[in-house]
Chain A
Amino acid sequence: MPNILVVEDSPTMRQLISFAMKRISNSRVIEATDGVDALKKLSSDTIDLILCDINMPVMDGLKLVSLVRGNPTFKDIPIIMVTTEGAEEDRKRAIAIGANAYLPKPIQTQELIKMVNTYLGGSGS
């Protein structure tokens, strides 16, 4: 039963992503509204994959990715960025910091599901 952490400040996007994740069998969605909230959820739950926005208050997505990659317990969790930042340099920066994949908004749900399945399969969850 994979646990997916959705880090998004927009309630609309959180609901939409959670909706999409219901199509991944047995998955459970844990929601976080920013980077700091995500770190709390990472400590209290076993997370198999992170879907992460970039522009968020308190702590943005890029900062969160670098903290996760620097943490020995969480460093191997696959991270997919889901963001409005569609420029190639933004994508490169996120990948360089440690994100596994990058999906610009507005998202195509099928594409997101496919991507999540790829990384969940790869992580053996």
Chain B
Amino acid sequence: MVEKETSYLNKAEEFIQMFKKGEEFTKDILRENEKLRFRVAQLEETVERSGDEARTKLYDERIRLLELELNSLKDKFIEVEEENKDFASKYLGVEEENNNLANLYVASYQLHSTLDFSEVLRIVVEIVINLIGAEQFAVMLIDDKTNDLIAVATEGIHASETLRIKIGEGIIGRVTKEGESYFAEDLSVMHDFNAFEPIVCIPLKIKEHVIGVISIYKLLTQKSGFTNVDYELFNLLAGHAATAIFSSRLYTQSERKLTTIQGFLDLLKDKPKR
């Protein structure tokens, strides 16, 4: 009986011991678990924290790149804007050049459109009025017989007012002699018309040979000065008007001579035979 009791007691002790061990083991596990949880939480936090940093770093990098891109785009924009301005001003220049060329083309086209002397003179007058903007002027040619300058066409003044001018005499005579254009410093005329005092005098030249001049005495009210195209037009008139005037005069003279000769021939033909 005692043995049995002792055996039960031993077993109970064993069981208690086992239970204690189990309890301890469980406690250990719980502790471990607690530790692990803490560690996980720690790790999670670390991961989270390191993720934010990485993201922040990434965002920072992105912002930096975008800023770079933005700056380069800004630079490009400024560059394009400058280019645009440049193109716009070039376009205006081309437009102006185009218009100037149109003026010169039309003037030269008209000057060479006829071989009729008076028609050529009319065209020269038209160009000086409409394209240059002159109100009073004279086209003067050297007279073959007297070697003086005589007006062959006038505008705003009467031909008789222009007088005869000797080569070398005054502004007009000097321009004829030297073949160099004259431009007065002050283009606005205050004084009354004076045949010897033009504000502009352009020699009409065939190569270096002067055949006459265009003398301008007054510009239109709205014309205050000369532009580049005006000087180009003066150059064109100096050469092309001279050639057109010269050749049309020769043509008209030869036409007249031909008519006279033809008249004689007709007379001879019609002469009754004896």
Contact = CB atoms under 8 A, between A and B. Distances in A.
B109 A15 contact: yes
Interface string B7-38: 00000000000000000000000000000000
Interface string B189-222: 0000000000000000000000000000000111
26 contacts: A10-B130, A11-B110, A11-B126, A12-B106, A12-B107, A12-B110, A12-B126, A12-B131, A13-B130, A16-B102, A16-B103, A16-B106, A19-B102, A19-B105, A19-B106, A20-B99, A20-B102, A84-B129, A86-B220, A86-B221, A105-B129, A105-B220, A106-B133, A108-B99, A110-B95, A110-B96
Interface residues of A, number: 17
Contacts, number: 58
Nearest to B92: A110
A22 B162 CA distance: 41
Interface residues of B, number: 24
Interface string A94-125: 00000000001110111000000000000000
A51 to B, nearest CB: 13
Contacts of A11: 110, 113, 123, 126
B64 interface: no
A105 B133 contact: yes
Interface in A51-97: 84, 86-87
Contacts of B95: 110
B237 interface: no
Contacts of B244: none
A8 to B, nearest CB: 9
A10 B99 contact: no
A15 B109 CA distance: 10
